[in-house]
Chains A and B, each alone.
Chain A
Amino acid sequence: GAGVSQSPSNKVTEKGKDVELRCDPISGHTALYWYRQRLGQGLEFLIYFQGNSAPDKSGLPSDRFSAERTGESVSTLTIQRTQQEDSAVYLCASSSRLAGGYSGTDTQYFGPGTRLTVL
């Protein structure tokens, strides 16, 4: 079946503009994750949605970053007033099981990422 898809695949924007990145998870996956990877750096957690629970937003680097998820489907990550340090590959992943408390996780399936370049 279809995997996780993200759009756009590449985005070039000017400093100060707002951008919106989209993630379509695998159908039926209740958990959705956003990460970013800056050039030459490791992955960083941004935000995690699980079912109808309140999202874990603790990884968002500033209040310019926000994310929404419509039910158990599409998610959008919005970056307002972009800065050059926001340039990175933004990765989305989804997994199938709604974790209760701090129980174990299921396999995460990653999308291809959106490469954001802020000039």
Chain B
Amino acid sequence: KNEVEQSPQNLTAQEGEFITINCSYSVGISALHWLQQHPGGGIVSLFMLSSGKKKHGRLIATINIQEKHSSLHITASHPRDSAVYICAVRAYKRSQGNLIFGKGTKLSVKP
């Protein structure tokens, strides 16, 4: 079993829909990252969080440390949100860069 599991693996939505992507992990962590990988391959860091909730524009990330679960929400989705969304965790006592990655959720938003 992978240490970081994402669901769903693939997601198709209509423009304007509210989207949720889930990430569960099995190790103790000090931080969790959400990344966005564009169709061309470029990767952008969206959030780093260790507790609670963060919001940036239409994106919201939450984490529940006790349940070892994080969610990424996209409100009023748009075709330009189409990308692969990747969850990554930094396990306790590992260095800052030593991240464990999920396999990603491929999101396609149709106009």
Contacts and interface: CB of A to CB of B under 8 A. Distances in A.
Interface of A: 31, 33, 41-45, 47-50, 56, 58-59, 89, 91, 93, 95, 99, 102, 104-110, 112-113
B10 to A, nearest CB: 13
B41 A105 contact: no
Given A42-B86, A42-B104, A104-B48, A112 B95 contact: no
B101 A58 contact: no
Given A42-B101, A42-B102, A43-B88, A107 B95 contact: no
Given A44-B101, A104-B31, A104-B50, A50 B95 contact: yes
Contact of B98 (A58, A91, A106, A113): A58
B76 interface: no
A50 B45 contact: no
Nearest to A112: B42
A10 B94 CA distance: 31
Interface string B76-101: 00000000001010101111111111
Contact of B44 (A31, A102, A110): A110
A102 B41 contact: no
B43 A105 contact: no
A29 to B, nearest CB: 12
A92 B90 CA distance: 17
